Chain A
Amino acid sequence: MMPAGYATSEGGALLVIAVMLPIVGMIAIFALGLRRAERIAFIILPGGLFIALAIAAEVARTGAAVTYVLGGWQPPLGIALQADGLSATLMVLTALILCAVGLFARGTFSTPPDMSEARRPMVFWTLMLGLWSALNTVFLGQDLFNLFVALELLTFSAVPLVCLDGRRETVQAALRYLLFALIGSVFYLLGAALLYGAYGTLDMAGLRLQAHYNPATSVALGLMIVGLMAKAALFPLHLWLPPAHAGAPAAASAVLSALVVKAPFFLILRLWFDVAPQPGNQLAAQMLAWLGIFSIVFCSIIALRQVRLKLMIAYSTVAQIGYLFLVFPLVMASDAPSAWQSIGWTGGVLQLVSHALAKASMFLAAGLIAEALGHDRIDNLNGAVTAVPISVAAFGLAGLSLMGLPPSGGFVAKLMLLTAATETANWWIVAAILVGGILAASYVFRVLGRAMAAPKIGFKTLAHIPLYRELVVLGLAISAVVLGFVPLQPFAFLGIGRVGLP
């Protein structure tokens, strides 16, 4: 029952460093004194970015997945870590966004000079690092149980970030988030137990070789995917997300919306394409896409009706996650030589990346607007453009990507999905993408219109925002726009190291 067999590749140690570096930072914070939390985080952040880039470069150079077999033990006894093109892309994305958010949060979460230590900065920076390690493990893990632990680590890091300020609503939101996440984890674990019972291994490569259609496999995969859906906040399991993401401090919201909800989606992709017997179940693919369509339409409409800016952005996150789930029927029905070369696959991944950049920028911009104005009620945003002009511009640019207007990463992603949907004659998906774009335009312009309006008499800004913080937000928005200049074709890099399934 020995599966394909892994061999540690040349740069394999990089993968271990990618997982361990943030953990070392966390330990250092506890060992060297809590008041140095920020300084330690600022040593780890560029280091982690460098490691992520090195892994991506190694994958691009060798044209194959980078693998590390822990302790030299082959699965099913041991655990392997592997970075393919997709994982490497997501790791670089994670590192970039965390560095940007770190820069943004610099100063807001530092220990006051008159105190020896403070709870908020210590919790913020340690949890950010914990989150990073968990995300890297999710992207690299090859063992379903190892991935369960990574998911839990992610939840434990994300939940306290929601209630950093300790207000009642945020604690309620955090608790609800935790309960949803726990249901998700238990479902995932149940599925893993069933798969182990059926195949005697939890290694993805091993499962891929053996998996065939039988009731146990279907139930197990169904449980796991539903559990992950709750964590990824796909309609109708999205109820926890808006209060949680809107209640967190801006820097935390950005990371939660941009990265944390993408990890369970990534695992659904892996389960679907790397574990489930091929070809996948057409009915299940259609169901996932339909839930995606409902997410897009309903949550965009609810976003339109929001009074608070951050809640609007949070609902927009649920809507944009819906687009990701359109990928399944599009990839399956395409006539590309392999799933990784189809336009639907590239479109889906690009949507993930561009949404992460745009949404991080949007939440940070909303945070700066709220700091400058002292509130985030959309009807009362008049004058925001005079207070924080660069943030409003960044909000607009990021909005461009969410609507799918050219030139932006969102435009290319949605165009690719649209092309794939037309090619495969999935007309409902075509309609949903178009309607979703119009709705997104409505909610973004509603905010912009208010923010651009002339300030009321007696308007004054509450806080002075340092220029570099606004520039970080603009930088994220611009990178979302720059993604719009990539060629409109499937990227070979995203297919590197993926097993060639029909």
Chain B
Amino acid sequence: MIGTATVYGLCASGLVAIGLYGLVLHPTPLRKVIAFNLLGSGTFVLFGVAARRGGAAGFLADPVPQAMVITGIVVAFASTALAVALLLRLQETGASSIETTPPEQQDNGAS
């Protein structure tokens, strides 16, 4: 019989794996941002597991990791917002990928 914590732990590993795969291998920036969110969710589930296992020490559940997860979600939300804002900005300038043009071809970077 597998315990709840183990199931959630495996879930977390799966999410982390999918997220990492997407973040590293997907060429489109938007997919990378979504993959980052999956990776983040995996991490938060892992914190949940830590909370549950800490709960085995006598508490119902350890509240500290849950506080961390809330902060983590806020931070991840802010990063996603920043990334999407940059993506929109990039779209406005007419580019669709983050492959930069070789610096030699840029005409003027002096500022």
Interface residue ranges, A against B (CB under 8 Å): 76-77, 145, 148-149, 152, 155-156, 159-160, 163, 165-169, 171-176, 178-179, 182-183, 185-186, 189-190, 193-194, 196-197, 200, 242-243, 246-247, 249-250, 306-308, 310-311, 367, 370-371, 373-376
Contacts and interface: CB of A to CB of B under 8 A. Distances in A.
Contacts of A374: 110
B2 interface: no
A243 B100 contact: yes
B68 A145 contact: yes
Contact of B109 (A149, A152, A308): A308
B39 A186 contact: yes
Nearest to A374: B110
A243 B47 CA distance: 35
A177 to B, nearest CB: 10
A149 B74 CA distance: 10
Nearest to A194: B46
A249 B111 CA distance: 5
5 contacts: A173-B100, A185-B75, A197-B49, A311-B109, A367-B111
B89 A166 contact: yes
B72 A189 contact: yes
A163 to B, nearest CB: 7
Nearest to B104: A307
A77 B62 CA distance: 11
Contact of B86 (A174, A189, A376): A174
Given A168-B90, A178-B83, A310 B71 contact: no
A326 B81 CA distance: 37
Interface of B: 16, 19, 23-24, 29, 32, 36, 39-40, 42-43, 46-47, 49-50, 53-54, 57, 62, 64-65, 68, 71-72, 75, 78-79, 82-83, 86-87, 89-90, 93-95, 98-101, 103-104, 106, 108-111
Contacts of A179: 23, 29, 32, 36, 83, 98
A197 B68 contact: no
B82 A156 contact: yes
Contacts of B87: 175
A417 B59 CA distance: 50
A306 B72 CA distance: 40
Q: Is the interface of A mostly helix, strand, loop or mixed?
A: helix
Given A152-B75, A179-B98, A370 B110 contact: yes
Given A166-B89, A174-B86, A178-B79, A310 B50 contact: no
Contact of B50 (A168, A175, A196): A196
The 8 closest A-B pairs by CB, nearest first: A370-B110, A197-B50, A168-B93, A193-B46, A175-B86, A376-B110, A171-B90, A172-B100
Given A179-B98, A247-B109, A311 B103 contact: yes
B98 to A, nearest CB: 5
B11 to A, nearest CB: 14
B39 to A, nearest CB: 5
Contact of A156 (B42, B78, B90, B98): B78
B10 to A, nearest CB: 14
A371 B24 CA distance: 38
A231 to B, nearest CB: 13
B83 A175 contact: yes
B65 A196 contact: yes
A76 B75 CA distance: 21
